[in-house]
């Protein structure tokens, strides 16, 4: 079977492209919220994440194009911009990463099930990367849950990039 026939893989990869762009926009929105609330360390961290997610989307587009699959971009909802706390921001970021992992695994499962072996190594790289992404998100949430005063939040903000690498 060719990679574009009798498979949901092209549609799932398109969905992943759009989710990566949605995540990039969401991380930009989180950076704006953090900057507006004077959490400049978190703002910088989320700007970096936004850049990474955009790069991931472009890698998925290139992968699809190299295999004669036409990526369809668009139709995504606007990112969330309102949060009540930095912890709520971190929980939202963790949710983005968990969703991203789920969607990549669905692409991987379909690539295996439909006999698309050339997509498997590409997707495995992203699955492996998601281990790291979920880890920083969980660490961020855990650290923020321990912050019990404004001073601890400000201290964490100063060190968040160093802490999460």
- Binding site per annotation, positions for Fe cation: 20, 53, 56, 97, 130
User: Which stretches of the chain are DSSP H helices?
Assistant: 9-36, 40-66, 86-113, 120-146, 150-164
> Which residues are annotated as part of the binding site?
20, 53, 56, 97, 130
27: tokens are 């991380």
Euclidean distance between CA atoms 87 and 85, whole angstroms: 5
Q: Give CB contacts under 8 A, 24+ apart, made by 99-103.
A: 99/19, 100/19, 100/20, 100/23, 100/130, 100/133, 101/127, 101/130, 101/133, 101/134, 103/12, 103/15, 103/16, 103/19
Q: Strand, helix or coil at 57?
A: helix
Euclidean distance between CA atoms 12 and 29, whole angstroms: 25
């Amino acid at each position: 079977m060719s990679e574009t026939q009798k498979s949901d893989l092209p549609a799932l990869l398109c969905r992943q492209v759009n989710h990566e762009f949605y995540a990039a926009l969401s991380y930009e929105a989180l950076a704006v919220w953090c900057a507006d609330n004077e959490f400049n360390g978190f703002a910088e961290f989320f700007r970096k994440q936004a850049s990474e997610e955009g790069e991931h989307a472009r890698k998925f587009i290139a992968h699809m194009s190299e295999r004669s699959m036409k990526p369809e971009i668009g139709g995504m909802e606007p990112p969330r911009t309102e949060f009540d706390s930095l912890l709520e921001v971190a929980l939202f970021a963790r949710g983005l990463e968990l969703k991203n992992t789920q969607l990549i695994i669905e692409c991987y499962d379909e690539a295996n099930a439909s006999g698309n072996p050339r997509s498997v190594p590409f997707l495995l790289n992203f699955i492996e990367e998601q281990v790291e992404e979920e880890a920083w998100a969980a660490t961020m949430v855990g650290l923020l849950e321990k912050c019990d005063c404004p001073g601890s939040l400000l201290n964490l903000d100063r060190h968040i990039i160093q802490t999460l690498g």
